[in-house]
C-alpha cells in the first residue's frame, strides 16, 4: 500500500506567485518606478506640445503671398474638421 502525500506542494506555487514578482519586467518596473514615471511625464509633455502645434496650425491664417486653391472631397474635409475638433477638445481638458 502506497500513501501519497504532496507535503503542501500544490499550495506552494501560489504562495511563491503572490509572495514576490516572478517575471523580470515586473521586477524592473517596480524597482525603478521613478524612471518610468519620469519617462511617462516626458512623453505626455511631448504629446501635449504636439497637440498645441496642431491647434496652432489649424487656427493660423493663411499667408496672402502663397495663396493657392486646393480641392478636397466632402468626406476628407469632414475628416479634417473632426480632427480639428478632437485636438481642441483634448486641449480644453488639459
Per-residue model confidence (pLDDT) at position 15 = 55
* Residues 30-52 pLDDT 10s: 667 788 788 889 999 999 999 99
Per-residue model confidence (pLDDT) at position 9 = 62
* Residues 48-89 pLDDT 10s: 999 999 988 888 877 666 677 889 999 999 999 999 998 888
How far is Cα of residue 58 from the mean position of the Cα atoms in its chain?
A: 23
* Residues 3-25 pLDDT 10s: 666 666 665 655 555 556 556 66
Residues whose CB falls within 8 Å of the CB of residue 16, separated by 6 or more in sequence, listed in order: 22
CA atoms within 13 A on the CB side of 55: 14
Per-residue model confidence (pLDDT) at position 58 = 84
CA distance 63 to 43: 32
Residues making up the chain, counted from first to last: 94
Amino acid at each position: 500500500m502506497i500513501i501519497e502525500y504532496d507535503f503542501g506542494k500544490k499550495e506552494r506555487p501560489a504562495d511563491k506567485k503572490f509572495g514576490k514578482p516572478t517575471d523580470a519586467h515586473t521586477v524592473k518596473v517596480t524597482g525603478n518606478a521613478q524612471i518610468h514615471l519620469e519617462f511617462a511625464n516626458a512623453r505626455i509633455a511631448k504629446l501635449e506640445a504636439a497637440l498645441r502645434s496642431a491647434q496652432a496650425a489649424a487656427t493660423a491664417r493663411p499667408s496672402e503671398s502663397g495663396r493657392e486653391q486646393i480641392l478636397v472631397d466632402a468626406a476628407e474635409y469632414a475628416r479634417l474638421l473632426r480632427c480639428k475638433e478632437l485636438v481642441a477638445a483634448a486641449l480644453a481638458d488639459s
